[in-house]
């Protein structure tokens, strides 16, 4: 079995995409999935002015490891459980949902969060199925799209419920993000 990634510190593509996306949001707190290096995650978001976090982790052993390693002075609630437990209606919150799994297995999660989110997925199943499954889970139909090449290649998808920024990149595998803008 492959070893879980321990850090994103050397993931330059992921960092560039995160920086490109995060600047589109205003938020005071984050509800999210911290990933393999909780301190790098917290430090980055604190540098953007965030001082309050609600972090979810499904794996109790990983949650205990994260808890023992936290060096931040911010207000942090570390919750062992599925992020589906989170309140999606909170105000002034960025929902930073770095799933790193296929959309096939996350349709309930995709449907739950309606605003101020960045969702990250693996697209090993292919781009078309990833995009189609995302919008099907949200019960939305794409009515238009525009591709941009600068500053970072991305697509804006338009639906009757609003616009989504879509961006793909390579980290340890083919990854993509949808952001409700």
Beta strands in the chain (DSSP E): 29-32, 52-57, 75-80, 93-98, 117-122, 144-148, 154-159, 162-170, 174-180
Provide the whole-model pTM.
Answer: 0.92
pLDDT in tens, 24-46: 999 999 999 998 899 999 999 99
Q: What percent of the chain has pLDDT over 70?
A: 94
Query: pLDDT confidence of 100, banded at 50, 70, 90?
Result: confident
pLDDT(4) > 70: no
Q: Rounded distance, CA 154 to CA 149, Å?
A: 7
pLDDT in tens, 136-178: 999 999 999 999 999 999 999 999 999 999 999 998 889 999 9
Task: Name the β-bridge partners of 76.
Answer: 53
Q: Rounded distance, CA 118 to CA 48, Å?
A: 15
Look at residue 92 and give its three-state secondary structure.
coil
> pLDDT at position 145, please?
98
């Amino acid at each position: 079995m492959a070893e879980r990634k321990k850090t994103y510190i050397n993931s330059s593509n992921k960092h560039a995409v995160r920086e490109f996306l995060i600047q589109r949001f205003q938020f005071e707190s984050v509800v999210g999935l911290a990933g393999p290096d909780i301190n790098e995650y917290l430090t980055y978001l604190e540098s953007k002015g965030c001082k309050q976090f609600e972090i979810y982790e499904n794996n109790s052993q990983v949650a205990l490891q994260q808890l023992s390693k936290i060096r931040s002075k911010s207000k942090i609630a570390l919750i062992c459980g599925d992020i589906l437990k989170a309140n999606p209606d909170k105000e002034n919150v960025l929902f930073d949902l770095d799933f790193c799994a296929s959309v096939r297995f996350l349709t309930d999660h995709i449907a739950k969060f309606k605003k101020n989110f960045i969702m990250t997925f693996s697209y090993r199943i292919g781009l078309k199925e990833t995009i189609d499954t995302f919008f099907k889970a949200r019960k939305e139909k794409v009515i238009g799209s525009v591709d941009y090449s600068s500053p970072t290649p991305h697509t804006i998808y338009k639906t009757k419920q609003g616009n989504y920024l879509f961006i793909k990149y390579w980290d340890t595998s083919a990854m993509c993000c949808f952001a409700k803008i």
